[in-house]
């Protein structure tokens, strides 16, 4: 069920890193295996809710919560879940936590809940979460799984914020709802429209590709 590519890179990774210290599990999600910029997982929320930095941060943190919680629970149950029904079990566990955070956000900020809309519920089908459950939490102990979830979640949040910040600055002339350019700034409306999402992600990927190439050369 997991993205095929992610699974294969993962096994390779475990072979090399079997004895790595636990801090590595945390750091890898932030940069070397960043879920969005490197693994290109969980694209739908990435593009849909990043029209402002606030939305991007909220979405990122909500996903992090679900990721950490489900990773922890799945890892602690890993010896009890039968192999044949594991995917269904994972999805049920994830759906439970998503329902929790959905009601949580609704209780704390109705405005935020409105602007994120159905995308909070759609965290269930974020392939990143199921991917981590299958590739990591089902094979490692609770501590490592929690760290992995936290790292991946924060990496996801970081990437979302990159997209959200760029789109809000260019499309709205503001950052976190504070105007940063003068009155004369002509907004690039296209950046906060759907098309801008595709372009912004392409630009960031291009930026990181160029960086990587420079490093190798």
Partner 1 sequence: MTHESLWQIFINASLVNNFVLAYFLGICPFLGVSGKMETATKMGVAVTFVMVISAISAYGIHKVLTMIQAPFLELISYIVVIAATVQLVEMFIKKASPALFKALGIFLPLITTNCAILAVALFQTNKGYGFLESIVYALGAGTGFTLALLLMAGVRERADLATVPGIVKGTILTLFIAGILSLTFMGFAGLGTQ
61 forms part of the interface with partner 1 (CB under 8 A):
no
Cβ at position 45, least distance to partner 1 in Å: 8
The answer to whether the beta carbons of residues 49 and 192 sit under 8 Å apart is no
**Number of residues that make up the chain:** 217
CB of 121 to partner 1, least distance (A): 5
Among 66, 130, 166, 169, binds partner 1 (CB under 8 A): 130
Cβ(71)–Cβ(132) under 8 Å?
yes
Cα dihedral across residues 47, 68, 103, 93: positive or negative: positive
Q: Which of 9, 13, 24, 47 binds partner 1 (CB under 8 A)?
A: 47
Contact 55, 115 (CB under 8 A): yes
Min separation Cβ 4 and partner 1, Å: 5
Give the nearer residue to partner 1 in terms of CB position, either 181 or 207. 207
Backbone phi, psi, residue 175, to 5°: -140, 125
Does 112 interact with partner 1 (rule: CB under 8 A)?
Answer: no
Question: Which is nearer to partner 1, 122 or 175 (by Cβ)?
Answer: 122
Taking alpha carbons only, the member of 160, 167, 165, 216 closest to residue 191 is 167
Query: Which of 26/156 has CB closer to partner 1?
Result: 156
Q: Which residue is it, tokens 């409306």?
A: 189
Q: Is 202 in the site for partner 1 (CB under 8 A)?
A: yes
**Which CB, 93 or 147, lies closer to partner 1?**
93
- Residue 105 binds partner 1, judged by CB under 8 A: no
Instruction: Please tell me whether residue 198 binds partner 1 under the rule CB under 8 A.
Output: yes
Structure tokens belonging to residue 27? 């750091």
Query: Is residue 110 close enough to count as binding partner 1 by CB under 8 A?
Result: no
CA 117 to chain centroid: 17
> Of these, 107, 118, 184, 217, which contacts partner 1 (CB under 8 A)?
118
Q: How far apart are CA 191 and CA 170, in angstroms?
A: 7
* Nearest to partner 1 of 38, 53 (CB atom): 38
Q: Is 112 exposed, middle or buried (0-12, 13-18, 19+ CB in 10 A)?
A: middle
Distance, in Å, from the CA atom of 84 to the CA atom of 92, rounded to the nearest integer, reads 14
Which residues contribute to the site for partner 1 (CB under 8 A)? 1, 3-4, 40, 43-44, 47-48, 87-88, 91-92, 95-96, 98-99, 102-103, 118, 121-122, 124-127, 130, 190, 193-199, 201-202, 205-206, 209-210, 213
């Amino acid at each position: 069920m997991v993205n095929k590519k992610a699974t294969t890179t993962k096994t390779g990774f475990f072979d090399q890193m079997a004895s790595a210290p636990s801090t590595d599990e945390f750091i890898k999600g932030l940069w070397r295996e960043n879920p969005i910029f490197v693994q290109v997982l969980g694209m739908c929320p990435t593009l849909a809710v990043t029209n402002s930095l606030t939305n991007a941060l909220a979405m990122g943190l909500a996903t992090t919560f679900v990721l950490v919680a489900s990773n922890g629970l799945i890892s602690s149950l890993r010896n009890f879940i039968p192999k044949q029904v594991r995917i269904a079990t994972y999805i049920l566990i994830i759906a439970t936590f998503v329902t929790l955070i959905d009601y949580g956000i609704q209780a704390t900020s109705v405005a935020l809940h409105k602007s994120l809309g159905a995308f909070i519920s759609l965290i269930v089908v974020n392939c990143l979460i199921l991917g981590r459950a299958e590739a990591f939490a089902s094979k490692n102990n609770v501590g490592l799984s929690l760290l992995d979830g936290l790292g991946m979640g924060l990496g996801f949040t970081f990437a979302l914020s990159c997209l959200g910040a760029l789109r809000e600055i260019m499309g709205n002339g503001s950052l976190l709802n504070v105007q940063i350019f003068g009155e004369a700034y002509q907004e690039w409306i296209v950046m906060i429209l759907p098309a801008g999402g595709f372009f912004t992600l392409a630009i960031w990927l291009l930026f990181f590709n160029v960086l990587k190439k420079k490093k190798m050369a």
